Amino acid sequence: MEQQKLPNTTVSLVLAIVAFVGCCCFGIGGVIPAGVALYLANKDKKKYEENPELYSNYKQANTARTVAIIALVISSVWLIYTAVNFFFLGGVEAYETAIEQFQVEMERQQSMQSE
């Protein structure tokens, strides 16, 4: 019998890589693709465990699962960190006030240097 490829391996690998890049470059942007990639990789893992001799690309599915888990953990930690900062520091109003204070301080520093 000819070995087949697991059906969701390529999609889960691509989503896991997108999630990893998203969480590393954009913070919380990797939670959804990582979750979907993990779901698809786990689905393939169950299929492989039912008939291991039938499928040939289990290593790729396992790699996708590992990358998805890492991306999901990093994205989740960043999401929690962002939510805690947002809620405990006062939300949008506190953020805008902090930015305004930073800009005023930068202008003050620049005016002191130019004198």
The dihedral built from the CA positions of residue 35, 39, 45 and 48, taken in this order, carries a sign that is negative
- Tell me whether residue 32 is in a domain: yes
Residues 36 and 67 sit within 8 Å (Cβ to Cβ): no
Radius of gyration of the chain (CA): 22
pTM comes to 0.76
- How much is the mean pLDDT over the chain? 89
pLDDT score of 47: 95
| Count of domains forming the chain | 1
Residues 18 and 36 sit within 8 Å (Cβ to Cβ): no
- Tell me whether residue 70 is in a domain: yes
- Tell me whether residue 103 is in a domain: no
CA separation for the pair 91, 85 (Å, rounded)? 8
pLDDT higher than 80, residue 11 = yes
Residues 13 and 5 sit within 8 Å (Cβ to Cβ): no
pLDDT, tens digit, 9 for 90 and up, residues 32-76: 999 999 999 999 999 999 999 999 999 999 999 999 999 999 988
- Tell me whether residue 17 is in a domain: yes
Identify the domain containing residue 60 by its residue range.
9-89
- Tell me whether residue 97 is in a domain: no
pLDDT band (50, 70, 90) for residue 96: confident
